[in-house]
């Protein structure tokens, strides 16, 4: 699908990124985010790109509004409705301890105050039969109770509502108008009442905040097309997204994975391990052709069973604080200096040593080249900050800085091992793709730690999430619990379940302007050995092939297969429209005049290291490490024993010599 003009917008904690595709090439723009009113930064950037708000191009937007509201605990007053005897469902959870051997774990705040947890009839059994009816008198009392509590939102989570949703719909109809309603049979019609309840409650808890934000933005844009990035890597119209805030919790990272997959395809790389290092955290993921999705994700302390990109996040970023623990050992993270005051080298009052300060002390960041010269880094402040922990460690400032980098790298390497080796994948068969503002400084060390021979620093890596949003299709991921042994289920019955999901997804995409003939659908099953608790998702082929594929996948993931029947838990249908056609601009060929490099002194390297400006690199140029490559949004370090080749569109393809 060729689209003449598209605008991807990613709202981050510090910057809001814009990538405009005008049908010929890309324009990159950044403005400072406005956390109190995120739409203001969005509107500012659109104006600065030269568009009237009522004539903006088609926009795909990824936002942290839902994520921040959850992580900061700033949801709205929400009533949680469950069956009688299950009012404490969200507080009890799975009774899992964060620290397994802590005999006196600190009490955790409850998600919903007990006064806001209401109980009702309308209970079903495991086979869908009515255990307790729901009377008109009870619905009346429920309505009166809700009116007295005056919530902004209500979450409804009745037992086994995925088998029959009539009681949840009856409760929804009884709720006073003007209240945001989230019911589990619409949000997540799957088994596991706790995970379903958390997802339904999160959708209600932050739903009004997201709804108001999207309404304000849509009103200001006066009818310009607006699509919202979902956590699965697909998009939905803003009107639909306003009611499904829980599906936006990983919209930014999903855009980044889309972007990594898109730029890597230009270099004929499909098997990727992605590494997105920002100021506060690092996200890692594995991409084997398609994006990998999971229904076992977490946001903060909450399990979220809504499908989302399968990534792992750790508290290691450029702003991660280095300190000395009670045993006198060096520690890095998870605390972060954030954007205010930020690392000491930012010159904004920060005094604690961070990873960015360490990179500056080691010479891997240049004071005058940070953010294209928009911010001059304070080398003396970085020395003072690291000096506060160098003396107790009896090391020099430079030695301490090198230790900070090694420890941060080990944290990130451990996360990469978790999503690869611990799941049966050999990292040496993948290309490590780094992006984010700090990723290029660490990519060679991480590839070395995992024995990898290939890495990649993509073009536009500093705005890759916004770029990835340009490539995202309209999509839906639908599911429903259906339980039984795979060998005993009629394929015709499975196809009826798939067809019902497909019909619902097709109707949603058609409402967003996608022609039925352009929609593709994939069917899959969540499977497990009979008696297990957790599942693996496999594409549906036929009973024999799908069973064989499950045995193989289980052996790869867990190291063994079992002689037990395979059980179906959930049926799934993934639908998507065509992806927009975006083309990266080719670089000039090797006849380009090139550039005369500057040089910088790096700790541990005897000779001065060349410093190249990425915007002046030419196609097929080879850069032997050690070297620094600067650009407006990032700095990259090509370590000794590594060579970077510039491909046709400007990606840096790294190979270990």
Q: Can you tell me which residue has the tokens 């409850």?
A: 110
Collapsing DSSP states into helix, strand and coil, what is residue 613? strand
Looking at residue 346, its pLDDT comes to 87
Looking at residue 122, its pLDDT comes to 95
Residues 110 and 20 in one domain: no
**What CA–CA distance (Å, rounded) separates 521 from 572?**
10
Please give the helix or strand (H or E) that residue 570 lies within, else none.
strand 566-576
Mean pLDDT computed over every residue of the chain: 91
Per-residue pLDDT, averaged over 356-363, amounts to 94
Q: Domain of 45: which CATH number? A: 3.30.420.40
Residue 314 lies in a domain: no
Residues 16 and 140 in one domain: no
Range of the domain at 22: 6-68+218-246
The 10s digit of each residue's pLDDT in 59-108 is 999 988 888 888 888 899 999 999 999 999 999 888 777 777 888 878 78
Residue 624 lies in a domain: no
Residues 520 and 570 in one domain: yes
Q: Domain of 95: which CATH number? A: 3.40.50
- Secondary structure (DSSP) of 523-560: EEEEEEETT-S--EEEE---HHHHHHHHHHHHHHHHS-
**β-pair partners for 76:** none
Residues 59 and 108 in one domain: no
Of the chain, the end-to-end C-alpha distance in Å amounts to 41
Residue 200 contacts residue 90 (beta carbons within 8 Å): no
In the structure encoding, which two tokens stand for residue 400, read together?
């301490």
CA atoms lying within 13 Å on the CB side of residue 645: 10
Lowest mean pLDDT among 53-62, 425-434, 502-511: 53-62
Sheet containing strand 117-120, edge to edge, reads 117-120, 78-83, 153-156, 180-183
Instruction: For strands 308-309 and 293-294, give the pairing.
Output: antiparallel
156 vs 595 pLDDT, higher one: 156
Strand boundaries in 116-198, DSSP class E: 117-120, 123-124, 130-132, 153-156, 180-183
CA angle 370, 19, 261 (to 5 degrees): 95
Residues 62 and 164 in one domain: no
Residues 206 and 223 in one domain: no
Decide if pLDDT at 339 tops 80: no
Residue 25 lies in a domain: yes
The 10s digit of each residue's pLDDT in 467-524 is 999 999 999 999 999 999 999 999 999 999 999 999 999 999 999 999 999 999 999 9
Residue 335 lies in a domain: no
In the structure encoding, which two tokens stand for residue 228, read together?
């919202």
Which of 463, 360, 441, 355 minimizes the C-alpha distance to 629?
Answer: 441
Decide if pLDDT at 214 tops 50: yes
Residues 25 and 118 in one domain: no
**What CA–CA distance (Å, rounded) separates 274 from 465?**
12
Residues 18 and 133 in one domain: no
Which of 536, 532, 260 minimizes the C-alpha distance to 424?
Answer: 536
Residues 187 and 234 in one domain: no
**What CA–CA distance (Å, rounded) separates 406 from 423?**
25
Which of 345, 407, 349 minimizes the C-alpha distance to 378?
Answer: 345
**What CA–CA distance (Å, rounded) separates 585 from 601?**
34
Last residue of a domain, one of 541, 576, 611: 576
Last residue of a domain, one of 530, 556, 576: 576
The 10s digit of each residue's pLDDT in 563-593 is 999 999 999 999 999 999 888 888 877 555 5
Which pTM does this prediction carry? 0.89
**What CA–CA distance (Å, rounded) separates 209 from 437?**
29
Decide if pLDDT at 215 tops 60: yes
Most confident of the following: 88-102, 143-157, 372-386: 143-157
Residues 510 and 527 in one domain: yes
Phi-psi region of 224 (alpha: psi -120 to 50; beta: other; left: phi over 0): beta
Residues 143 and 241 in one domain: no
Residue 653 lies in a domain: no
In the structure encoding, which two tokens stand for residue 418, read together?
């978790």
Q: Domain of 480: which CATH number? A: 3.30.1490
Last residue of a domain, one of 201, 227, 246: 246
Residue 550 lies in a domain: yes
Residue 419 lies in a domain: no
Lowest mean pLDDT among 144-148, 549-553, 631-635: 631-635
Domain count, the chain: 3
In the structure encoding, which two tokens stand for residue 288, read together?
């084997």
Residue 104 lies in a domain: yes
Report the greatest alpha carbon distance in the chain.
84
Residues 512 and 550 in one domain: yes
CA distances from 476 to 237, 239, 307 (A): 11, 14, 10
Q: Can you tell me which residue has the tokens 């080249």?
A: 369
């Amino acid at each position: 699908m060729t689209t003449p003009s598209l605008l991807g917008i990613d709202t981050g904690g510090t910057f809001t990124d814009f990538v405009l595709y005008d049908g010929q090439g890309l324009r990159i723009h950044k403005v400072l985010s406005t956390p109190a009113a995120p739409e203001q930064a969005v509107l500012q950037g659109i104006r600065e790109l030269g568009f009237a708000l009522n004539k903006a191009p088609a926009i795909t937007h990824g936002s942290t509004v839902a994520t921040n509201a959850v992580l900061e605990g700033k949801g709205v007053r929400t009533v949680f409705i469950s069956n009688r005897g299950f009012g404490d469902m969200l507080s009890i959870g799975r009774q899992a301890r964060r620290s397994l051997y802590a005999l006196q774990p600190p009490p955790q705040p409850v998600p919903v105050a007990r006064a806001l947890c209401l109980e009702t009839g309308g209970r079903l059994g495991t086979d869908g039969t009515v255990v307790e009816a729901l009377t008109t008198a009870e619905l009346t009392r429920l309505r009166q109770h809700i009116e007295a509590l005056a919530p902004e939102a209500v979450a409804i989570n009745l037992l086994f509502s995925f088998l029959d949703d009539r009681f949840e719909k009856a409760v929804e109809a009884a709720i006073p108008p003007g209240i945001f309603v989230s019911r589990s049979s619409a949000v997540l019609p799957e088994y596991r009442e706790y995970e379903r309840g958390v997802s339904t409650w999160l959708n209600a808890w932050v739903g009004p905040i997201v709804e108001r934000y999207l309404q304000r933005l849509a009103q200001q844009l006066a009818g310009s097309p607006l699509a919202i990035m979902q956590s699965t890597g697909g998009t939905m119209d803003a009107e639909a997204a306003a009611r499904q805030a829980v599906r936006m919790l990983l919209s930014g990272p999903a855009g980044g994975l889309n972007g990594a997959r898109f730029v890597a395809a230009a270099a004929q790389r499909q098997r990727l391990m992605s590494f997105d290092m920002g100021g506060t955290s690092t996200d890692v993921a594995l991409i084997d052709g398609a994006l990998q999705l999971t229904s076992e994700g977490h946001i903060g302390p909450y399990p979220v069973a809504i499908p989302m990109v399968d990534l792992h996040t750790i508290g290691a970023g450029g702003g991660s604080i280095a300190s000395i623990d009670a045993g006198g050992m060096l520690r890095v993270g998870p605390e972060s200096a954030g954007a205010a005051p930020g690392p000491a080298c930012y010159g904004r009052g920060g005094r604690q040593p961070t990873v960015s300060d360490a990179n500056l002390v080691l010479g891997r960041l240049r004071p005058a080249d940070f953010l294209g010269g928009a911010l001059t880094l304070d080398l003396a402040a970085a020395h003072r900050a690291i000096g506060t922990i160098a003396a107790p460690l009896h090391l020099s400032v430079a030695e301490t800085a090198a230790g900070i980098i090694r420890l941060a790298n080990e944290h990130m390497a451990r996360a990469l091992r978790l999503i690869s080796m611990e799941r049966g994948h050999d990292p040496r068969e993948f290309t490590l793709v780094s992006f984010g503002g700090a990723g290029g400084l660490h990519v060679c060390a991480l590839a070395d730690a995992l024995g990898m021979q290939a890495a990649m620093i993509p073009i536009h890596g500093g705005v890759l999430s916004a770029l990835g949003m340009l490539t995202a299709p309209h999509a839906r991921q639908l599911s429903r619990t259906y339980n039984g042994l795979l060998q005993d289920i009629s394929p015709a019955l499975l196809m009826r379940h798939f067809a019902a999901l497909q019909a619902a997804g097709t109707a949603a995409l058609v409402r967003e302007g996608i022609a039925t003939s352009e929609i593709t659908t994939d069917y899959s099953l969540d499977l497990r050995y009979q008696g297990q608790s957790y599942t693996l998702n496999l594409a549906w082929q036929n009973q024999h092939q799908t069973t064989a594929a499950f045995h193989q996948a289980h052996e790869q993931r867990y190291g063994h297969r079992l002689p037990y029947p395979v059980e179906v838990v959930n049926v799934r249908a993934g639908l998507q429209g065509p992806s927009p056609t975006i083309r990266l601009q080719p670089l000039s060929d090797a006849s380009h005049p090139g550039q005369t490099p500057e040089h910088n002194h790096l700790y541990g390297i005897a000779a001065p290291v060349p410093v190249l400006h990425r915007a002046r690199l030419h196609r097929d140029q080879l850069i032997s490490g050690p070297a620094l490559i600067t650009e407006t949004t990032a700095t990259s370090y090509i370590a000794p024993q590594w060579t970077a080749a510039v491909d046709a569109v400007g990606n840096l393809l790294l190979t270990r010599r």
